[in-house]
Amino acid sequence: GNSVTQMEGPVTLSEEAFLTINCTYTATGYPSLFWYVQYPGEGLQLLLKATKADDKGSNKGFEATYRKETTSFHLEKGSVQVSDSAVYFCALISKNRDDKIIFGKGTRLHILP
């Protein structure tokens, strides 16, 4: 079945550091891929998405590229801020009509000032 694997946290970085959170997936066909973010005390919200191979999703300085050859959708940001401290979830959904969205286990990110 479909699955998402993301790096375990917590990840702790200093402000202005480069961030990568790894996400790989298993799915048939060409799923749509997502990153969701949950800031402290808030609900989950979509950060970015990509719906086909080689697409790049971007938002708030974050980027992720849909790599079919490596079945990956790694989240990157060039210079993180304290306000980026949150839990990040990678997710996918296949193109089959009744398939559900599959989430990874989440990666907690701490940014130190």
Partner 1 sequence: GAGVSQSPSNKVTEKGKDVELRCDPISGHTALYWYRQSLGQGLEFLIYFQGNSAPDKSGLPSDRFSAERTGGSVSTLTIQRTQQEDSAVYLCASSLAQGQGAGANVLTFGAGSRLTVL
Find the binder of partner 1 among 29, 69, 70, 98 (CB under 8 A). 98
For residue 19, give every residue at least 6 positions away whose Cβ sits within 8 Å of its Cβ, in sequence order, or none. Answer: 11, 13, 75, 76, 77, 80, 84, 109
Rounded to whole angstroms, the Cα distance separating 113 from 102 reads 33
Q: 69 or 98: whose CB is closer to partner 1?
A: 98
Q: 19 or 90: whose CB is closer to partner 1?
A: 90
Binding positions for partner 1, rule: CB under 8 A? 32, 34, 36, 43-46, 49, 89, 93, 95, 97-98, 100-101, 103-106
